[in-house]
Amino acid sequence: MIWKGGVAGSMLMILAACDPAPIEPPLADAGSIARGKAAAQRLGCGACHELPGIDWPKGRIGPSLAGFGNRALIAGTLPNDLPRLAAFVADAPSLVPGSGMPAVPMDAGEAHDIAAWLQSQRD
Amino acid sequence: MILRPGSSLSVTSAGSGWPPAVFDPAGPYSEPVTTLAWALLLGGTAVFALVLAALGVALFGSAALKARLGGEKAIWIGGFAFPAVVLTGLLIWGLMLTSSLSATRVTGAEMRVKIIGEMWWWRVHYQDAEGRETLRDANELHIPVGKPVLLELETADVIHSFWVPRLGGKMDMIPGRTNRLLIQADKPGVYKGQCAEYCGGPHALMGFIVVAHTAEDFARWKASRVPARGEQGRGLELFLSSGCAACHTIRGTPATGLAGPDLTHVGSRQTLGAGILPNNPGTMAGWIADAQAIKPANRMPAYHQLSAEELLAVSEYLVRRK
């Protein structure tokens, strides 16, 4: 049994070594991610966006935010890092002039949590 | 289309959660309904247990027990006397308990409001003591605490049902009729309501809220219901030129459409789309641009012809209508 386990274990290690090593920022803490989802629901982000894990509403005017953590760019222009995403979530027009997304009143904590939640969407 | 419990958190800040609490009365016209509901629930459970016990005896009891259960005496008592006494008592008690709910005569002591159900929102016409209209609004009712509010309920199309469970009973809005309902809130707060009669398409998305204020706050709210005059700007220009004014009124402007909700004070409302979305610049823009994605089949078309800049100008203008 020990022998078999050792073989399986070493094979797993070999397989793991075959995975590409994605350079991903670490996830924010679970509390922040959960608060971010609740804040996105409370603020009604779904009026324009399809949101991962939220059944209704599924707005179509803005892009779906499913798998947002895999995206390289915010709104096709800005690097998708946490501080920039948080700033964009709260005040899109000041970062991307001409965006149809309005500035939405929220505090810095909410913006940070929503950004953390969006970046945790990596499916 | 279906508003599920987990999917409505977006309105928890505006209402008191979803679905509206039904066993949590907050005024004298809701308390008797709740008492009666508990009595029916518990009494019904007890009777159900008795029937099951009788069934158990009939299936598995001894021959002697079966004979007694099937005897003439048992049938007279259990099949006739018991239901006659219980149901008669329940009827008398229920009518006495809920007599205050049907005392919907105008006494002059109550606030008066006419509410008209539409597919799929609510017109709210505030009235003075004589029943003359004083102010038009939609989807949100403001009342002072501790005062009965007499609602005249009508419909513009199909049957709807007005229901704010924590403040009063449920009353159908029937074509050609004016039904009356009393509600009252004993504490300030926001009380969620919901159309309770299937009225087609997005019936489940036909919500309502009642905001109860202290007397001073209510007076302040009432005094603030004065439209801004002589206002101009790109938002209003776009509102008028894009067709919004064909269906919506903004008092103090040339916009006098009547098909949709009055938007004079839309920015002060706590919800959009009839109790279903929070009201902020984001949801306002989303609603204007594509209300059909949010509330399918509602009568407001998607405004895909607006550019991003125009959309933001119109929604910002509306959000400022406090």
Q: How close, in Å, is residue B152 to chain A by CA atoms?
A: 32
Query: Is residue A2 over pLDDT 70?
Result: no
B184 touches B138 (CB < 8 A): no
B238 touches B313 (CB < 8 A): yes
C-alpha torsion sign, points B274, B278, B283, B284: positive
Q: Which residues pair with A4 in a beta bridge?
A: none
- Nearest by CB to residue A43, choosing from B282, B293, B295, is B282
The radius of gyration computed from the CA coordinates of chain B, to the nearest angstrom, equals: 25
Domain assignments of chain B as residue spans, ordered by start: 31-102, 111-214, 234-264+280-319
At A15-59, the pLDDT tens digits run 555 555 556 667 889 999 999 999 999 999 999 999 999 998 999
Q: Which residue of A has its CA nearest to B271?
A: A44
| Cross-chain Cβ contact A55/B12 below 8 Å | no
pLDDT at B11: 43
What six digits make up the tokens of A103? 């500035």
Nearest to B207 by CA among B139, B294, B275: B275
**CB < 8 Å to B294, chain A:** 46-47, 57, 59
Cβ neighbours, 10 Å, residue B277: 29
Q: What percent of chain A has pLDDT over 70?
A: 80
B201 touches B298 (CB < 8 A): yes
As a CATH number, domain B111-214 is: 2.60.40.420
Answer whether B54 touches A (CB < 8 Å).
Answer: no
- Nearest by CB to residue A61, choosing from B13, B276, B286, is B286
ipTM (interface predicted TM) = 0.82
How many CB pairs (< 8 A) connect A and B? 89
Same fold, B111-214 and B234-264+280-319: no
Cβ neighbours, 10 Å, residue A40: 26
**CB < 8 Å to A101, chain B:** 282, 285
**CB < 8 Å to A60, chain B:** 290, 293
Secondary-structure breakdown of chain B: helix, strand, coil percentages, each rounded to the nearest 5: 40, 20, 40
Residue A26 gets the label, from left (phi > 0), alpha (psi -120 to 50) or beta, of: beta
Cβ neighbours, 10 Å, residue B32: 19
Fold classification of B234-264+280-319 is Cytochrome Bc1 Complex; Chain D, domain 2 (1.10.760)
Q: Which of A35, A37, A45, A48 to mutate to test the interface with B (most CBs of B within 10 A)?
A: A48
Q: pLDDT (tens digit, 0 to 9) for every residue of chain B, 322 residues total?
A: 333 333 333 344 444 456 788 899 999 999 999 999 999 999 999 999 999 999 999 999 999 999 988 889 999 998 899 999 999 999 999 999 988 888 778 898 999 999 999 999 999 999 999 999 999 999 999 999 999 999 999 999 999 999 999 999 999 999 999 999 999 999 999 999 999 999 999 999 999 999 999 999 999 999 999 887 777 899 999 999 999 999 999 999 999 999 999 999 999 999 999 999 999 999 999 999 999 999 999 999 999 999 999 999 999 999 999 8
3-state helix/strand/coil string of A11-46: HHHHHHHHCCCCCCCCCCCHHHHHHHHHHHHHHCHH
What six digits make up the tokens of B140? 């949100």
pLDDT at B14: 42
What chain A holds in terms of domains, given with CATH numbers, is 27-119 (1.10.760.10)
pLDDT at A23: 61
Q: How far apart are CA A86 and CA A107, in angstroms?
A: 10
Q: How far apart are CA A112 and CA A88, in angstroms?
A: 10
**Angle value at C-alpha B62, between B61 and B65, nearest 5 degrees:** 80
Mean pLDDT value of segment A67-91: 95
- Nearest by CB to residue A100, choosing from B12, B277, B311, is B311
pLDDT at B101: 87
Mean pLDDT value of segment A99-119: 96
